[in-house]
Amino acid sequence: MAFIGNLVLVFVAGFITALATGLGALPFFFVEEFSDRWNVGLWGTASGIMVAASLFGLLNEGLAYTSGLPVLLGVGLLAGVVLVELSDRILDWLDMGGHGDHGDDDHDEHRLEAEAFAEGDPKKLALILGILTVHSFPEGVAVGVSFAELGLEGGVGVFGFAVPVLAVFMTVAISIHNIPEGTAIAIPMRAMGLSKWRMVGAAVFSSLPQPIGAVIAFAFVRWAQAFLPFGYGFAAGAMVYLVATEFVPEALETGRDLPDGGRSALVIGFAAGVLAMLPLLSV
């Protein structure tokens, strides 16, 4: 029964990160649009948070469970990179529902999701959910792995559970990371004239695979303690690779019309994200 309670708590943490994606659409209740500089800053902050949480949190924990050469940790890092790369290739292969070549648009799934919600096509929504499952699964894995020490001494008391400090930070980090993702999803929906609450719902929908990934990852690392370094490495590799191949390019694409191409806003946002996660150094 205790294990079931742990699974429920991990699922709730993952669901909180999914709900946070909806926050990215809420500003459209009050403003017509965000400035490009603000959007670039948000992507930079999300990038800084994810890199800091991966390096100072996940990798540190992975090394703590490693004796000798960190082979499992290294294999996990590589596996995380491979998963993200494969998910991108799957998206390219699907050609985003047959919409042809869209040039440098690295987030066509946002536009496709907007179209699916606008049309209310169940088949297209099912396809989108499948794509998103591949695409957002690593974030859920990062949350689940961070709960590996759930119930052990030294955690933060939450609803009677001793929650690891790393788990608290990763849940917060993924939640913050999801906010600009929600904004990116809402922008094409705003252009299509969809209602504000449908934009919020679509943003949350895009992250629904995360609590599922969190539960699966948590169950795996609790069942196979010896593979804990692999789990930490996998989550860290996927997160850092996502930043390098998606968040930063998305930020630079958004800020391409700014005087400096958005680089200053990106750097400032990145630095703010790293500073926000510095307490991880004490974990």
pTM: 0.78
pLDDT tens, residue by residue, 215-268: 998 998 888 877 888 989 998 998 899 888 888 888 888 888 888 888 999 999
Per-residue confidence (pLDDT) for residue 246, from 0 to 100: 82
Asked if the model's pLDDT at residue 14 lies above 80, the reply is: yes
Nearest to 97 by CA among 132, 119, 124, 122: 124
Do the beta carbons of residue 129 and residue 18 sit within 8 Å?
no
Task: Summarize pLDDT for 152-187 with one digit per residue, the tens.
Answer: 666 677 767 788 888 888 888 888 888 887 887 787
CA angle 57, 60, 65 (to 5 degrees): 125
End-to-end CA distance of the chain: 29
Contacts of 63 (CB under 8 A, 6+ apart): 70, 73, 229
pLDDT in tens, 35-57: 778 888 888 988 898 898 888 88
At residue 12, the pLDDT reads: 94
